[in-house]
Amino acid sequence: MDFATLSGEIATGRIGHALSRLVPATPIWEREWDICCVLDGCRLDLMREAAAAGHETLPDPNSVGSLWSVGSQSAEWMDRTFAPEHREAMARTAYVTGNPFSSQSCEHILVTSDEVLPLTADDFGVFHEAWREDWVDDDISTIPPEPLTDAAIAIWRNREELGIDRVLVHYMQPHAPFRSQPGWFFGSADIEHWGQFTDGEDDDEDIDLEALEPAEREALETLAEAEAESDDDETDSMNDPWMRLRDGDLSFEAVWAAYRDNLEWVLDDLARLLGNCDGRVAMTSDHGNGLGEFGVWSHPPGTPVPALRRVPWAVRDGRDTGACDPALPDGIREGSAAGADGPAGGEESDEDEIESRLEALGYR
């Protein structure tokens, strides 16, 4: 076992979990903002690079600060961000999320408690799980930023009526899958397999090899070879770009460029938010992604490594020009001031659907 592997096992194991609790993390509630945009899986250096390139949404790179996140993975971040001690602030906050962990108990994630997840409408002034209605199945399966921005603008403009004074928006980009590299996520382009290879549940259906594109056929052959040589855990990581970078299947330059493009995808839409909302708009992340620092790749929970825990914090002043006029999401418009919409309001969730969307995220 080499040093990187050993240090990675320490960082993501019991010692790492214990040290992670000692990281001087800053809950977002301790910062000043009217609208806080959480860009899932965004490294600090990635955002500073985009700022240095002059992206209109960001301030100059010297003004892109940082904070230490409360978690190194989305469910862990939710568990600590929405902990009981923050309920007073949450009661006057609208939470718009594209991340399906909002509906998971996450008992399997040892660093989470049993007090927070799954979230419900009772936890917030307004609770909108955009991933339930706005998932798309194109070349990649994901929730794009546009419906979250639309919901955030509409809620912010109706904040007095809804009884809230803050909006927290959890975007899924720059988290994989990457729009510029759909071929890396070969498989069924649906929610069940977002960012994953097909898992064999539909083996009874014949595959027409002649109808596949050469790249698709090659990817299918690669998968078949890997399944013959690897155990399930290894095969599950084949479509994770961070693991493929670790294993030498992808180059750093290619992965970083695709990662950067996904960040620009969400930043481009945040320009629309900044042009349609008056107020202080913060941009941050729930966690980063490991690129081999201390032997850690991707974003395992309970990990104290700075690449995962030190996340960006950038602030801009928004000005509502009235350039667009999105409607409130149906569940909020038709509901009470509590803003409950969908099964999260207390009804039984479709567990199979939630599980499949988390699998698509790469968490199953």
Residue 201 has what pLDDT?
42
Residue 110 has what pLDDT?
86
Any domain includes 134: yes
Of the chain, the percentage scoring pLDDT greater than 90 comes to 64
Any domain includes 53: yes
Any domain includes 222: no
Any domain includes 214: no
Q: Is residue 134 predicted with pLDDT exceeding 50?
A: yes
Any domain includes 288: yes
In the predicted model, what is the mean pLDDT of residues 283-291?
Answer: 98
Within 8 A by CB and 6+ apart from 319, the residues are: 274, 275, 278
Distance CA(146)–CA(92), nearest Å, equals: 24
Any domain includes 246: yes
Domain count, the chain: 1
Q: Which residue has the tokens 């995962």?
A: 308
Q: Which residue has the tokens 């693991």?
A: 243
Mean pLDDT of the chain: 84
* Strand-strand pairing, 166-171 and 35-39: parallel
pTM here is 0.82
| Domain of residue 124, CATH code | 3.40.720
- From 281, 336, 333, 347, select the one nearest 154 (Cα to Cα): 333
N-term to C-term CA, the chain: 27
Residues in the chain: 364
* Cα 78 from chain centre: 11
Any domain includes 101: yes
In the predicted model, what is the mean pLDDT of residues 33-62?
Answer: 98
Q: How confident is the model at residue 176 (pLDDT cuts 50, 70, 90)?
A: very high
Phi-psi region of 294 (alpha: psi -120 to 50; beta: other; left: phi over 0): left
What range does the domain containing 124 cover? 3-196+239-361
Q: Let me know if 187 is exposed, middle or buried by CB neighbors in 10 A (0-12, 13-18, 19+).
A: buried
